[in-house]
Amino acid sequence: MDSQTNRNRGNGWALLPFVLFFILYAITYAITRDLRNMPVSVAFTIATAVAILSVRQTPFPERLRIFSKGAGNETIMLMVVIFILAGAFSAIAGSMGAVDATVNLILYTMPPQAIMAGLFVAACVISIFMGRDITVTDKVAFDSADWIKVIPYLVVLITALAGVDVIIVLLTGIILSSFFGLISPDFSIWDLTLSARTGIVSDMGELIIVTIMAGGVFEVIKYNKGIDWLIHILTRKISSKRGAEFSIAGLVMFTNFCTANNTIACIITGPIAKDISNRFELDNRKTASLMDTFSCFVQGMIPYGAQLLIAAGIANINPVEIVPRLYYPFLIGIAATIAIAVRYPKRYS
């Protein structure tokens, strides 16, 4: 009976690759105070090697098969396709002037006294359109002809909100961005191909590699019963949906805090959150929303995250000085916490 219980509780040592991943970042920050000195792809390569070596009493080719099964599963490959298309769309749209046109249009319509609010709105709008964080340009002059370049973003936003498949949405965005770029005199077919390559390889290349490795490492940890152990620890004192939602929020926040990357945090914690969601019969939409919201909350406030490092570099200040004025990320975290506590929205809780 005891041995059966222990098997159900899993094996905590199986999480060693993830622990090592966190330790690598902690050591890097302790020594250099700059997490960029430890590229996430390198950290995951080391974690991958440890994960494969940690499989006991299994031939090496079988260990590789287990890893490859996770790295190439259907969900991971779909994410890779989405990253490729998103990278191409983002780069083509940016190269043909859609980003500048959108930012300039927003700032042009804002009164001078609302310029800071205009920058905030512009950053939010472009981030929604591109599906990624951006640095807002400092150009404010707006040519009335530039409104055409905003069309691809508007179409992508409208079709996404209408529930169109994300692959179709991104393909539509690529086609429209290419068309409106090519009809302008300062954007050639070669600008199109080179910008697409930049978006896919330079902007999304590392994320694609890390996503594949994360899928493989997760499968190895699952094979070693590490996920069973983690879920047991997270849920052993939970008896309600509210507690399950808080456990998911805590898991993704901790992972994001250690990796300084909300995308990677969601990739790592996603399958675990899905299991917890199934056990406590949570709404999948609510679970996804909690992961996204709480990871963004942490990502927006950690001084070693890419967003604050870029902002600090532009302002030539220490990123720690920005943290006390991060009203928006803190409000996101507070609102999400209240939503769990009061079970809002009711129909998804």
- The pLDDT of residue 233 is above 80: yes
- Is the domain of 80 the same as that of 198? yes
- The pLDDT of residue 224 is above 50: yes
What is the mean predicted confidence (pLDDT) over 16-25?
Answer: 84
Query: 3-state SS of 41-92?
Result: HHHHHHHHHHHHHCCCCCCHHHHHHHHHHHHCCHHHHHHHHHHHHHHHHHHH
d(CA 325, CA 321): 8
150 is a domain residue: yes
d(CA 200, CA 133): 16
- Is the domain of 199 the same as that of 79? yes
What is the mean predicted confidence (pLDDT) over 94-118?
Answer: 79
Structure confidence at residue 138 as a pLDDT band (50, 70, 90): very low
| Cβ-defined contacts of 242-246 (< 8 Å, 24+) | 242/340, 242/341, 242/343, 244/276, 244/277, 244/279, 244/280, 244/282, 245/282, 245/286, 245/287, 245/290, 245/340, 246/340
- Is the domain of 198 the same as that of 292? no
What is the mean predicted confidence (pLDDT) over 11-40?
Answer: 82
**Which of the listed residues 203, 228, 262 is the one where a domain comes to its end?**
203
Residues 338 and 344: beta-carbon distance below 8 Å? yes
Cis peptide before 61 (omega within 30 of 0): no
129 is a domain residue: yes
* Cα–Cα–Cα angle for 274, 277, 280, rounded to 5 degrees: 150
User: Residue 137: its pLDDT value, please?
Assistant: 44
User: Residue 35: its pLDDT value, please?
Assistant: 67
* Closest C-alpha among 160, 159, 152 to residue 93: 152
Does 120 or 24 have the greater pLDDT score?
A: 24
User: Residue 131: its pLDDT value, please?
Assistant: 63
Structure confidence at residue 150 as a pLDDT band (50, 70, 90): confident
1 is a domain residue: no
User: Residue 140: its pLDDT value, please?
Assistant: 44
- Is the domain of 81 the same as that of 188? yes
Task: Burial-class residue 20 by CB neighbours within 10 Å (0-12, 13-18, 19+).
Answer: middle
What's the pTM value of the predicted model, to 2 decimals? Answer: 0.80
Does 303 or 343 have the greater pLDDT score?
A: 343
Percent of the chain at pLDDT exceeding 70: 92
What is the mean predicted confidence (pLDDT) over 135-155?
Answer: 67
94 is a domain residue: yes
User: Residue 178: its pLDDT value, please?
Assistant: 95
* Closest C-alpha among 202, 211, 220 to residue 15: 220
- Is the domain of 307 the same as that of 349? yes
What is the mean predicted confidence (pLDDT) over 34-55?
Answer: 86
Q: pLDDT by residue (tens digit) across 319-348?
A: 788 888 888 899 999 999 999 999 888 887
- Is the domain of 187 the same as that of 263? no
Domain that holds residue 305: 237-349
- Is the domain of 169 the same as that of 281? no
223 is a domain residue: no
User: Residue 84: its pLDDT value, please?
Assistant: 95
Total domains in the fold of the chain: 2
- The pLDDT of residue 187 is above 50: yes
Residues 243 and 95: beta-carbon distance below 8 Å? no
Most confident of 79-93, 130-144, 262-276: 79-93
User: Residue 3: its pLDDT value, please?
Assistant: 46
6 is a domain residue: no
Q: pLDDT by residue (tens digit) across 67-82?
A: 999 999 888 899 899 9
- The pLDDT of residue 240 is above 80: yes
- Is the domain of 342 the same as that of 270? yes
103 is a domain residue: yes
Mean model confidence pLDDT for the chain: 85
Structure confidence at residue 53 as a pLDDT band (50, 70, 90): very high
- Is the domain of 255 the same as that of 318? yes
